[in-house]
Amino acid sequence: MTRDAQRPSLRILLLLGGAVVLAGCAAQSAGTPEPAATAASDQACAAPVIAGPASNAPLRPGERVELTIENLAPFCADTPRMTDNANDEPVDAFDVVWVQGDRRTVIDVVQPTDGSPFTVDITVPADAAAGAASILIGTAALPVEVAAAR
């Protein structure tokens, strides 16, 4: 067979192969419908957010501070499943962690239910140093500034 005679056959073969692939994709997308979510926790969730004092003034060691947490839910389809590393069980409580430098201190524990906003009162550790720090809850972080102790 000459080279010119092979080209139309190759073109037809490529077109038929592409048609078969596209037909398979169309059949797959028209086939099984997506399962409906059975519970709110199975749906996509917004990223968790922590809000602190409205004044943004530096915090002082020993000061009580009210935090508002939104969108913190133990089970969401679009966020990593948080588990207890010992037995891979899903967690239903989250540590509130004070982070300053390489020091991490659990200062409270919260138990959200469905991602609804809630508040928690925390106390800035009495030995917190002046400077930058963060408060972590689940995957959310709130950067804060600590003033020098009086």
pLDDT for the residue 92 = 75
Place of tokens 């948080």: 82
Place of tokens 């991490």: 104
How do residues 9-42 score in pLDDT, each as one tens digit?
Answer: 545 544 555 554 444 544 444 554 444 444 444 4
Residue 97 β-bridge partners: 106, 136
Between 11 and 134, name the one with better pLDDT. 134
Distant-in-sequence, close-in-space partners of 83: CB < 8 Å, separation ≥ 6 = 89, 90, 91
- Residue 61 token pair: 């060691």
Residues 56, 64: contact at Cβ < 8 Å? no
CATH topology of domain 40-146: Immunoglobulin-like (2.60.40)
Reported as a pLDDT band with limits 50, 70 and 90, residue 138 is confident
Reported as a pLDDT band with limits 50, 70 and 90, residue 112 is confident
pLDDT for the residue 129 = 95
pTM of the model: 0.63
Residue type (1 letter), 11:
R
Per-residue b/e over 16-26, b at no fewer than 16 CB within 10 Å? eeeeeeeeeee
Distant-in-sequence, close-in-space partners of 44: CB < 8 Å, separation ≥ 6 = 76, 77, 78
Reported as a pLDDT band with limits 50, 70 and 90, residue 77 is low
- Residue ranges per structural domain of the chain: 1-33, 40-146
